[in-house]
Structure 1
Amino acid sequence: MDGTVLIADDDRTIRTVLTQALTRAGCRVHATGSLAQLSKWVEEGRGDLVITDVMMPDGNGIDRIPAIRRARPDLPVIVISAQNTIVTAIRANEAEAFEYLPKPFDLPDLMSKANQALSRRPRRSDQPPEPAPEVQDSADPAMPLIGRAPAMQTLFRMIARVLNADLPVLIAGEAGVGKTTIARSFHDLSDRRDRGLAFLTAADAGEEVIFRAAEKARGGTIIVENPAGFDPAAQARLIGLIEAMESAVGREDSPRIVATTGPDPMADVSAGRLRSDLYYRLAGITVLVPPLRARVDDILPLANHLLARAAAQGLPERSLGDAAASLLRAHGFPGNVRELENTMRRLALTASAAAISGTEMQGALGQQGAALPATPVETRGAAAGMAPAAATGRLSDTVEAHLQRYFDLHGDSLPPPGLYDRILREIERPLLQVALDATGGNQLRCADLLGINRNTLRKKLTDLNIEVTRRRKLM
């Protein structure tokens, strides 16, 4: 690696680590804790690469990139930031940063990006760039789009790249991960944000409603919630709308379609719930939103953000005590961001002190953990002679009792949408595991027991990642 690297970061430790690593790699390094000094070096013609933090004592590193580009159009800039939000990623992309990496960053990854930047600096016009549209850091969607986990940073960078594209977007993920919030971000953070926004759901997919939505969202965005839930006639009407818009290519008032769906839209197509021709019209770009359990490092920052927002909305100010934070961090989190938000709001209301205790957190997580049926597990316990109370009656009575408790936990509110598929998913896996165990791993006997085709069983076992061990059943 060869070249001169300019580093701007107010953290002395980061400056030292980067200086040592880049020097060992063969670079010359100038490091400062001031954006003013960085700008002076750039204007003097120094440096082949800039690495800058965002929040600096004398300004914002992303805001400084247009000036750097005007002075040195061929000088690449790598942005590093602890502000791990989708807005930061979008602003870095709009400013045409060479790369954006969240803190704490992986040093080998940063070194690789630095080498790429020094090896092939992007060509840019010598003309001063048009100022990027201003995006406020204070944007606060219904659920926060923040996260330092690699899965979320990958998501943020993808959204930033396609934010203003004209292709339709399909946002896939489990219930409660924030798909609607991300759909809103495609409108609220894009250059369409001053135009119309309309929502379409299965409950309001009549012909007049669909075409009225197109008029309302002229030049803006139509968000289609779970098109697999639309009846066949409504799906046909939606296809007609999209075809009409496609035939009007070049019209500035054609809205963009952003749709949300479950984690496996192709399964909806295979099952006949979603027309394949509609799916391919919606999936110009597919964005997969990770569940909360796949981004464990984001749980505490999200929880703190949600507590702060609850306080801003008039609830008591709360913080996480050490024991509460440890319990929350270690929780398996079968739910998603919506469940985390409900838990934080409940604790904001019920905690006995400013700092939420471990006991209070344990109680809140225990309630959440009891949200879904545990019938198969309890049935195995009854077979072993433990006979819990919930397993002493008919199976339907047991399931009904658990579901009623789940509804009761939400008080006057309804559970999150998608309950039907969510409950079936939760029951299907233990049902298959218990049936396999009962048949000694014999898939033919298991399929016969369940009353399904063996190929269907094999597909379900593969989809659910259930390992099958063939053994002789002991009598």
Structure 2
Amino acid sequence: MDGTVLIADDDRTIRTVLTQALTRAGCRVHATGSLSQLLRWVEEGRGDLVITDVMMPDGNGIDMIPAIHKARPDLPVIVISAQNTIVTAIRATEAAAFDYLPKPFDLPELMTRANQALSRRVRKTDPAPSAAPVPEAVADPALPLIGHAPAMQNLFRMVARVLNADLPVMIAGEAGVGKTVVARSFHDLSDRREAGFVVLTSADLSEEAIHNAADRAQGGTLLIEDPAGFDTAAQARLIGMIEAWEVGPRRNLMPRLVSTTGADPQADVAAARLRADLYYRLAGVTITVPPLRARVDDIPPLARHLLARAAAQGLPHRTLSEGATALIRAYPFPGNVRELENLTRRLALTAAGSEISEAEAHTALAESSPIVPPAPAGAPAVRNGAPAPVAAPAAAAVPLGEPANMRLAQSVEMHLQRYFDLHGDQLPPPGLYDRILREIEKPLLEIALDATGGNQLRCADLLGINRNTLRKKLTDLNIEVTRRRKLM
């Protein structure tokens, strides 16, 4: 690696680590804790690469990029930041940064990016790229869109690349991962944000409803939630509407099409739940939002953010103890970010003090699901303000993994025994029968509805219950009317 690297970071440790690593790689390095000093070096003609932090004592590193490019159009800039949000990634991309890496970064990865930047420097004889204005920071929409995990950083980069492109976007993922938040970001952070944002759901199946939504979204964004849940006639109307836009006189007012789907939209096409010609019109680019279990390191900062957001909405201000943080991080969160948000709001309401204890986190998890990580031996739990059982030692807990040939009854028995073991010598909270049946009943109904394509008559017949009983259970269990689940 050859070249001179300019480093700007207010953290002396990071400056030292980067200086040593780049020097060993053969580079010359100038490091500073000041953006003004960085800009002076750039204007003096020093450096072949800039590595800068975002939040600095004398300014914002991203805001400095246009000035760097004005002085030295050929100088690549790599942005590093502890602000691991989608807004930071988008602003770095729009400012024409060579690359963006979240803190804490992987040093070998940063060295690879630095080598790429030094190898691809624009020659001084090349025409200077036109400087694009960096937009003012936009309020991050709802922000469970934070994350240091590689899966989320890849998502941020993809969103940044196609944010203002005239391509339809399909956002895939499991329930509760934040697909609608990502979709909203495509509007709120784009150059269409001053126009309308309209949501079209499976409840809006009439031709009039579809065209009304289209009219209100002109020039803005039309979000189509779960198009596979639309009946065949509604999907055909959507196709007709898109075709009319594409060739009509008001093509310049066509909204950006964004859709949300399940984790595998191509499976919906293969099963004829989603028309192939509609899929290809909506999937100009497909972005997959990772489940929470694929980014477990993001769970603690997400939980802290959600607690802060709950406090801003009027709930008591709470923080997480180290033990509570570790316990929450270990939980699989099958309901993803939505389940985590429900948990943090419950803890904000029920915790005894300003800091949520490990025992309180364990109790909240145990009461919401029979499958929870064990609390360490000796850690007293709290339930309804009174001391509750000490969990069994971790060695006594039955592992979550189960043999592929395990019968359903054995699997249920295993998880129920685990639940009792977690309470040691004492009994679980009262109401166990209804709580366990509810845990089993909800996924059963959801899977049966998926299997029958949302047809409630067929679903009721499959389950062997009355259709009215099914409708009441859907209401009582708060099963959302999404993904081919439309109350008839």
Q: What TM-score do the two structures reach when normalised by structure 1?
A: 0.80
Change in CA separation of 1:403 and 1:87 when aligned onto 2, cut-off 3 Å: farther
Which 5+ residue runs of structure 1 have no aligned equivalent?
391-397, 408-414, 426-475
2:150 alignment counterpart: 150
Change in CA separation of 1:224 and 1:419 when aligned onto 2, cut-off 3 Å: farther
Change in CA separation of 1:403 and 1:241 when aligned onto 2, cut-off 3 Å: farther
Mapped partners of 1:19, 1:84: distance in 2:
23
Query: Is the 1:183–1:259 Cα contact (8 Å) retained in structure 2?
Result: yes
After TM superposition, the structure 1 = structure 2 runs for residues 129-168 of structure 1, keeping only pairs within 5 Å, are: 129-136=131-138, 138-141=139-142, 143-168=143-168
2:229 alignment counterpart: 229
2:261 alignment counterpart: 261
1:165 Cα shift?
Answer: 0.6
For residue 223 of structure 1, what is the amino acid of its counterpart?
L
Aligned residues: 405
After TM superposition, the structure 1 = structure 2 runs for residues 278-427 of structure 1, keeping only pairs within 5 Å, are: 278-370=278-370, 379-380=409-410, 402=436, 404=438, 420-421=446-447
For residue 312 of structure 1, what is the amino acid of its counterpart?
A
Mapped partners of 1:422, 1:343: distance in 2:
26
- Corresponding residue SS for 1:7: strand
- Corresponding residue SS for 2:80: strand
- Corresponding residue SS for 1:240: helix
Mapped partners of 1:192, 1:178: distance in 2:
21
1:204 alignment counterpart: 204
1:93 paired with 2:129, answer no
- Corresponding residue SS for 1:146: coil
Mapped partners of 1:387, 1:73: distance in 2:
66
> What whole-Å deviation, never above 9, does each CA across 1:391-442 have from its counterpart, x for those lacking one?
xxxxxxx9997453579xxxxxxx99x97249879xxxxxxxxxxxxxxxxx
1:368 Cα shift?
Answer: 3.3
Query: Is the 2:152–2:290 Cα contact (8 Å) retained in structure 1?
Result: yes
Mapped partners of 1:180, 1:220: distance in 2:
16
Change in CA separation of 1:58 and 1:173 when aligned onto 2, cut-off 3 Å: same
1:269 Cα shift?
Answer: 1.1
Query: Is the 1:169–1:286 Cα contact (8 Å) retained in structure 2?
Result: yes
Mapped partners of 2:282, 2:412: distance in 1:
48
> What whole-Å deviation, never above 9, does each CA across 1:309-347 have from its counterpart, x for those lacking one?
000110000000121111112222222000000000010
1:75 paired with 2:75, answer yes
2:466 alignment counterpart: none
1:12 alignment counterpart: 12
Change in CA separation of 1:249 and 1:166 when aligned onto 2, cut-off 3 Å: farther
Higher mean C-alpha displacement, 205-214 vs 7-16: 205-214
> What whole-Å deviation, never above 9, does each CA across 1:342-394 have from its counterpart, x for those lacking one?
0000100011110001111011112333489x9x877127999x999x9xxxx
1:125 Cα shift?
Answer: 4.7
Change in CA separation of 1:399 and 1:121 when aligned onto 2, cut-off 3 Å: farther
Change in CA separation of 1:51 and 1:127 when aligned onto 2, cut-off 3 Å: closer
Percent identical pairs in the alignment equals 67
1:15 Cα shift?
Answer: 0.4
Change in CA separation of 1:401 and 1:146 when aligned onto 2, cut-off 3 Å: closer
Query: Is the 1:11–1:33 Cα contact (8 Å) retained in structure 2?
Result: yes
> What whole-Å deviation, never above 9, does each CA across 1:58-117 have from its counterpart, x for those lacking one?
110000000001111110000001100000000000000000001111111111111111
Mapped partners of 1:115, 1:22: distance in 2:
10
Mapped partners of 1:405, 1:130: distance in 2:
53
Query: Is the 2:141–2:181 Cα contact (8 Å) retained in structure 1?
Result: no
1:460 alignment counterpart: none
Query: Is the 1:8–1:38 Cα contact (8 Å) retained in structure 2?
Result: yes
Query: Is the 2:63–2:134 Cα contact (8 Å) retained in structure 1?
Result: no
Change in CA separation of 1:139 and 1:230 when aligned onto 2, cut-off 3 Å: same
1:248 Cα shift?
Answer: 3.8
Change in CA separation of 1:249 and 1:181 when aligned onto 2, cut-off 3 Å: farther
Query: Is the 2:227–2:235 Cα contact (8 Å) retained in structure 1?
Result: yes
Change in CA separation of 1:118 and 1:56 when aligned onto 2, cut-off 3 Å: same
1:187 Cα shift?
Answer: 0.5
1:464 alignment counterpart: none
Higher mean C-alpha displacement, 241-250 vs 93-102: 241-250
- Corresponding residue SS for 2:203: helix
1:279 Cα shift?
Answer: 0.8
Query: Is the 1:133–1:191 Cα contact (8 Å) retained in structure 2?
Result: no
1:133 Cα shift?
Answer: 2.4
Mapped partners of 2:291, 2:94: distance in 1:
27
- Corresponding residue SS for 1:252: helix
Which 5+ residue runs of structure 2 have no aligned equivalent?
373-401, 421-431, 452-488
For residue 379 of structure 1, what is the amino acid of its counterpart?
A
Mapped partners of 1:135, 1:382: distance in 2:
50
Query: Is the 2:177–2:291 Cα contact (8 Å) retained in structure 1?
Result: yes
For residue 238 of structure 2, what is the amino acid of its counterpart?
L
Mapped partners of 1:257, 1:371: distance in 2:
39
1:140 Cα shift?
Answer: 3.5
Mapped partners of 2:448, 2:169: distance in 1:
24
Mapped partners of 1:165, 1:195: distance in 2:
16
1:135 Cα shift?
Answer: 2.9
- Corresponding residue SS for 1:222: strand
